[in-house]
C-alpha cells in the first residue's frame, strides 16, 4: 500500500464532525415551510388532531427533514473564523491526489423514531469507507462513504444517514 493510500485509509473510522447541535429545535413553523415547499399534504405534520387519530401524541416532522434541522445557516458557512478540521483535512488529501471534483452518488436513510416539535437534534459524522481508485465516466475517482448519526436531546439515536460521494479527477475533454 502506498503512503498516499495509507494516509487516505487512516480516515476510515475517523470522526469528520463531532456531535454538532442544531441551531433550533424541531418546530412547527419550519415544518409548515417544508411541507408547503414540498407540496406534502399529510395532515400529521400540521394538524394535532389528525396526528392523534393515527395513534401519535401530536404533530410530527416529516422524516425527510432530519438533515435539515442540523444544517448550518449561511452565515456559518462563510464565517472568516471557520476553523479547519478533519473534513477539511480529508478534502485536502483528496485534492493532493487530484480528486478535486465531487458528485453525490447516493444516500440511505434509516429512521428510529419520528421527530416532534421541541426535539433538539444533533449530528455526528464518521468516515465509513474510502474506495480504491475506480474508473468512471466522469474520470478516475474514489467513493467516500460517511455515516451521519442523528441524536435527540437525550443522546438517543433518531436516524442514520449513509452518504456516498464520488471524488474524482475530471476527465480531459477532447480539444481542450
| Predicted confidence (pLDDT) per residue in 84-113, tens digit | 789 999 999 999 999 999 999 999 999 999
pLDDT for the residue numbered 72? 80
Domains of the chain listed by start with CATH number: 3-25+69-168 (3.10.129.10), 27-60 (no CATH)
pLDDT for the residue numbered 78? 67
Alpha-carbon gap, residue 142 to 47, rounded angstroms: 45
Q: For the chain, what percent of residues have pLDDT higher than 90?
A: 85
Mean pLDDT across 113-118: 98
The model carries a pTM of: 0.87
- The count of residues in the chain is 176
**Which three three-digit cell numbers place residue 28?**
412547527
Q: Is the pLDDT of residue 176 over 60?
A: no
DSSP, res 153 = T
The backbone torsions φ and ψ at residue 21, rounded to the nearest 5 degrees and listed phi first, read -75, 150
Residue 44: how many other CB atoms lie within 10 Å = 19
pLDDT for the residue numbered 48? 98
List pLDDT tens digits, range 41-90.
Answer: 999 999 999 999 999 999 999 999 999 999 887 776 666 665 678 999 99
Positive/negative CA dihedral, 129, 130, 133, 139: positive
Query: How confident is the prediction for the chain on average, in pLDDT?
Result: 93
pLDDT for the residue numbered 171? 77
Amino acid at each position: 500500500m502506498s503512503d498516499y493510500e495509507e494516509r487516505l485509509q487512516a480516515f476510515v473510522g475517523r470522526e469528520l464532525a463531532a456531535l454538532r447541535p442544531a441551531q433550533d429545535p424541531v418546530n412547527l413553523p419550519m415544518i409548515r415551510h417544508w411541507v408547503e415547499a414540498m407540496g406534502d399534504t399529510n395532515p400529521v405534520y400540521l394538524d394535532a388532531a389528525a396526528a392523534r387519530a393515527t395513534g401519535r401524541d401530536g404533530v410530527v416532522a416529516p422524516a425527510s427533514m432530519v438533515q435539515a434541522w442540523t444544517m448550518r445557516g449561511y452565515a456559518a458557512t462563510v464565517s472568516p473564523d471557520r476553523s479547519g478540521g478533519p473534513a477539511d483535512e480529508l478534502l485536502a488529501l483528496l485534492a493532493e491526489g487530484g480528486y478535486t471534483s465531487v458528485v453525490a452518488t447516493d444516500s440511505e436513510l434509516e429512521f428510529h423514531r419520528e421527530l416532534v416539535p421541541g426535539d433538539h437534534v444533533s449530528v455526528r459524522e464518521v468516515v465509513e469507507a474510502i474506495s480504491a481508485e475506480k474508473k468512471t465516466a466522469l474520470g478516475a475517482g474514489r467513493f467516500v462513504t460517511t455515516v451521519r448519526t442523528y441524536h435527540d436531546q437525550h443522546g438517543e439515536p433518531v436516524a442514520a444517514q449513509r452518504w456516498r460521494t464520488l471524488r474524482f479527477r475530471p476527465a480531459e475533454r477532447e480539444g481542450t
